[in-house]
A and B are shown apart, each in its own frame.
Chain A
Amino acid sequence: MSGTFVGMPAFPKAAHDAVRNTTLRANLKHATHTIRDKRARAVAELDDWAALREAGKQIKDHTLRHLDHYLVQLEESVTAAGGTVHWARDADEANRIVTRLVRETGESEVVKVKSMATQEIGLNEHLEAEGIRAYETDLAELIVQLGDDRPSHILVPAIHRNRGEIRDIFAQEMGRWGRPAPEGLTDTPAELAEAARLHLREKFLRAKVGVSGANFMVAETGTLVVVESEGNGRMCLTLPETLISVVGIEKIVPTWQDLEVFLQTLPRSSTAERMNPYTSTWTGTTDGDGPRTFHLVLIDNGRTDTLADEVGRQALRCIRCSACLNVCPVYERAGGHAYGSVYPGPIGAILSPQLRGTASEIDASLPYASSLCGACYEVCPVAIDIPEVLVHLRERVVEGGEVTLRGTKVTLKPAKGHAAERAAMRAARWAFTHPAVLATGQRMASRTRRFHPRTVPGPGRAWTATRDLPQVPAESFRDWWQRTDGGKEGQK
């Protein structure tokens, strides 16, 4: 089941169980609160944070506006540096390309550095079906893979696991994938790290093919950049003979200088570090150093469609720092799996329904997985107005409208299941544009107030299951105002 999220239930249903899982909630609460406090401190150290945030936003917007130009420039630079560029319109095409490239090396194993793009397209499952084994080498990804689990956080995919669980997974599963865990493994961090190191070292030294993602691609030089904390990524990038990097087309920046902004904002926003421990850059191939063959697979998979949407396109500015997840009160309680995508949390709630469309149950429910509290927008280092996009996508769900699908403009019908709500909204709008109707309604509610139950059926039931309804007052304000002439008649 790992990696794939097909046929997920709607968000409220998925969140229902997570909310009741007290261990999960405690793990998540602890982890997100620790990191959010650290992030706030790291950000407060910079007095030009607001300017950096604005600069990041501007660079990304500029690049997205001229994406066609920069992608062509990137292709030219990568080719000139000895690499080969492949274009993949969707997940299937990308998977086929990578499979073919691995086959051509004659290998049946690859090592991987954490890459969201390959998770998005389900590369590991695809390779497995084609007889090729992919080994995750990022520590958290390793835990997820060994546990036959799914990632639940952008930066810390195994955030939902505690040390005891990790120990059990290592002890039981490592042997099936390679070097077994040492006898008598305990759950101390040092022992767990050592077990992972021994297990992974063997993979690195044997692997002939590496698969990576990238945080950034620099158009002017054809350079790719990975930002990480463990150094395992650098092993994947330098040891194998063939390197295949699979990257979303929006990860591009025009020049090296642009990196100065993101290499400050990304680590502070994500791990609350002033600078991340490992920043690796690679450009094509070089004699006597690193991989002999380099392939760059650029994936679209819904990105140009997203780009066509004026309001929604800002989601493509995302640098995957995960700050929005860590401050989100909904993520904190629902957990990452409820979002049904490798992109959980607030960014997932706006990215998935754009990349995948709103046709499935889970994708249509994601725009509602937010109380619109705005904490995500506040922390986002590239100023993505996530609440704005959520509301925009809600509109798409309930009213339909024009969207771009695979490059063609189509008109979506309103999603099913919103008819009653739509009717209620129309009725409310009608009453609200006719003040007399509103006043009559209020008077009726006041007159019948003694008969109002504290729990109600229908859509109100969800409210009254856990909260008491307020009592309707004997008199609305407008009636009081009229009766007492704005309180001047004495009468309170």
Chain B
Amino acid sequence: MRVALFLTCVNDTLYPDTGRAVVKLLTRLGVDVDFPAAQTCCGQPHYNTGYRRQAEPLARHYSDVFGPGLASGDYDAIITPSGSCAAMVRELYPRMGERARAEGRGDRLATTLAPVIPKTYELTEFLVDVLKVTDVGASYPHKVTYHPTCHGLRSLGLGDRPLQLLRAVKGLELAELPGAQECCGFGGTFAVKNSDVSSAMGADKVRNAESTGADVLCAADNSCLMHIGGTMSRLKVGMRPVHIAEILASTEEEPHV
């Protein structure tokens, strides 16, 4: 199995550790990972802020970067450690194609985007559904609570896949997060445009996490973790935000620090 890693612009720039963890994890599971260097951003920030037409060239770019490798059989899938970016491709790219058609601009966009849409997977979804593993041989001796991000939960329908993976991790104690399904308040530009409400939501999420007594809060999306982690840091809560990939990559020989 050979996959292309779509790391996303946020991870690439701010959270390279997550990328290294994904490479380490997938390699350990016998998957060949490539990182097409021309990749940038899926267009989600533009799309969700109302700049759909500006998101179109980014979607085309995504397709140009990953499409040929899929077509030639170089890659079997595109993997991303971000629920919201996977949701952007899988849920919103089709919609962008439809809108372009409805606006009388023909099928070009839809046709260009079509091949990459079904082949883009969020990491935990890929592990459980495609590789069919839940025990990835990880070891992580910490008390962890899991925040299912909105896009992972509702757009992708990840369900308990991430939890299945976490439960199989050696030494990991899983603490249930009260109000887990509630949004953490990030929401991209929402965090800035409606900062008061966003902060209140973030603070409630952090208080709920704190009540579990866990020392780590994990999620499958660094954007949400940035917001939650930034709130934890400001509220001086002794918890760390960690991407689930870093937990799954951690082993006894090479523990995640």
Residues of A whose CB lies within 8 Å of any CB of B are 11-12, 15-16, 19-20, 25, 310-311, 329-330, 333-334, 367-375, 377-378, 388, 391, 393-399, 421-422, 425-426, 428-429, 431-433, 435, 438, 442, 445, 459-460, 462-463, 465-470, 472-473, 475-478, 480-482, 486-487, 492
Contact = CB atoms under 8 A, between A and B. Distances in A.
A433 B7 CA distance: 16
20 contacts: A15-B196, A329-B201, A333-B201, A371-B190, A373-B154, A375-B183, A395-B52, A433-B58, A463-B230, A466-B202, A466-B203, A466-B231, A467-B230, A470-B230, A472-B14, A473-B17, A476-B12, A477-B15, A480-B20, A481-B35
A463 B195 contact: yes
A428 B13 CA distance: 14
Given A372-B187, A373-B187, A429-B58, A472 B13 contact: yes
A425 B51 contact: yes
Contacts of A310: 102
B41 A432 contact: yes
Contact of B16 (A11, A377, A431, A480): A480
Interface stretch (B42-50, B122-130, B210-218): B42-50
A62 B253 CA distance: 62
A486 B194 contact: no
Given A333-B197, A459-B192, A391 B150 contact: no
Contacts of A372: 48, 150, 187-188, 190
Given A394-B48, A486-B23, 10 more contacts: A333-B197, A367-B50, A371-B190, A371-B201, A372-B188, A391-B47, A393-B50, A429-B51, A472-B13, A481-B37
B197 A15 contact: yes
The winner among B102, B192, B194 for most chain A CB atoms within 10 A is B194
A467 B61 contact: no
A486 B35 contact: yes
A310 B40 CA distance: 32
B112 interface: no
B224 to A, nearest CB: 10
Given A395-B50, A432-B41, A467-B199, A369 B230 contact: no
B13 A394 contact: no
B226 to A, nearest CB: 5
B67 interface: no
Interface of B: 7, 9, 11-17, 19-20, 23-24, 27, 33-35, 37-41, 43, 45-55, 57-58, 61, 95, 99, 102, 150-151, 154-155, 181-183, 185-203, 226-227, 229-231, 233-234
A469 B46 contact: no
A15 B194 contact: yes
Contacts of B95: 388
A330 B195 CA distance: 11
Contact of A477 (B12, B192, B233): B12
A476 B49 contact: no
Contact of A371 (B27, B185, B229): B185
A334 B197 contact: yes
B133 to A, nearest CB: 21
A392 to B, nearest CB: 8
